[in-house]
Amino acid sequence: MQNKLFLGIMIFFGVVVVSTVGALLTTQTTPMVLTEQNVSLQNTNQDQEVTEVYDGNQLVAAVLLNNLTYYNTEQSWVASTNPPNGQDRSDSHWSCPLVKKTTAPNTFSSTVSQLDANSIAQNDARKRAESEASTLKCTYYYFCTTNQTYTAYCSSGYVGGPVTETISGWDSLNNYSYLRSTVSTADACASSLSVAKQRANSALASACKAIPNCVGPDGAQISVGNSKSYFKTNSVPSGGSCVSEVRSCVLTSGSSNPPIVSLSGSNLYSTCIVSKPTPTPTPTPKP
C-alpha cells in the first residue's frame, strides 16, 4: 500500500514552504476534509525517496525528500568584552562594550532541518561577534563620591541670588556618566564642581536684576551707595552761608522688578552763590 500526503507547496526565493491540506491516506479516492496549518516536512520513511502530492485525486507534484533544502531565518549573537585579569565586569567602575552581529535570512542552507540551518547561521554570527569583541577593551572609570557645591553671587550693580548648586556623589556615580574620569577621583570631582558652577551661573543670570540709579534734582545719575551734596537755596545774601546736605542713593526694595531706589534728603540745588557785598560810595571832596 502506497502512502500519499496531501500537501500544498509554495516556493519563495528558493525556500520550500510546505503547508498541509490533508492527512496520510491509504488510497487516492478516500474522501477527506481539508485543513491548513504550517508544518516542517520530514522524511519519516527512509525507504521512500519520493512523496506524491495530491490535490483531491489529482497528482500535482512529487517531492524528492532527500533533496529538500532549508534556509536560515535571521540569527543574532551578542558578545561582550571583559576586564583584564579576571576582574568583575559588573563593577560599575568598568565600562565594557558589547558587540552584536546578525546573519541575514537565507545566508546558509541545510539539507538536514530548519533548526540545523539556523544553528549554522547563529554560529556564524557568534564567531564574528566574538572576533570583534576580542579586539576591544574595557575602560575603568573613577567617580567623585563626595558632594561638590558652588554658590554664585550677583555682581556689583545687581541684586538677587545667591544661587547654590550641588552635584552629589550619587549623581556622579549613577546619573551623569560624563562626570566620571579615566584619570583619577580628584579629576572626577573637578568635573562635578565645574558642572555645579556652570549650573549656578546659568540660574543666576535670571535671578540677578540690575539696580537702577537714583536721579538727582539736577538730573545727575547717582548709583546706589554713592551720594552728592545739594544746597537748600541756590544763592544767599552777602554775609550769609550756603546750607548743604549730602543726599545718598539707597536701595529700598530689592525684591521688586525692577528694584526700587530712593535719594535721601530734600535739598534741590547743586550750586549756591553768596552775593557780593554792596560797595560803600566814596564821598566826593568839596572844593
Per residue in 71-110, pLDDT (tens digit) is 999 999 999 998 988 888 788 888 899 999 999 999 999 9
Per-residue pLDDT band for 15 (boundaries 50, 70, 90) equals very low
Confirm whether 127 is domain-assigned.
yes
CB of 68 within 8 A of CB of 62?
A: no
Under DSSP, is residue 224 helix (H, G, I), strand (E, B) or coil?
coil
Confirm whether 2 is domain-assigned.
no
DSSP string, 216-273: -TTS-EE-TT-EEEEES-SEE-TT----EEEEEEEEEESSSSS-EEEE-----BS--E
Per-residue pLDDT band for 148 (boundaries 50, 70, 90) equals very high
pLDDT above 90 as % of the chain: 51
- 19-33, 197-211, 230-244: least confidently modelled range: 19-33
User: In this structure, are 63 and 78 located in the same domain?
Assistant: no
Confirm whether 155 is domain-assigned.
yes
User: How many structural domains are present in the chain?
Assistant: 4
Confirm whether 63 is domain-assigned.
yes
Full domain range(s) for residue 254: 214-274
Confirm whether 64 is domain-assigned.
yes
175 secondary structure, DSSP code: I
User: In this structure, are 127 and 179 located in the same domain?
Assistant: no
Question: Regarding beta strands 235-236 and 221-222, do their DSSP bridges make them parallel or antiparallel, or are they unpaired?
Answer: unpaired
User: In this structure, are 176 and 204 located in the same domain?
Assistant: yes
Is a pLDDT exceeding 50 seen at residue 152? Answer: yes
Last residue of a domain, which of 68, 83, 106?
A: 68
For residues 38 and 15, what is the distance between their CA atoms, to the nearest angstrom? 14
Confirm whether 121 is domain-assigned.
yes
Under DSSP, is residue 189 helix (H, G, I), strand (E, B) or coil?
helix
Confirm whether 185 is domain-assigned.
yes
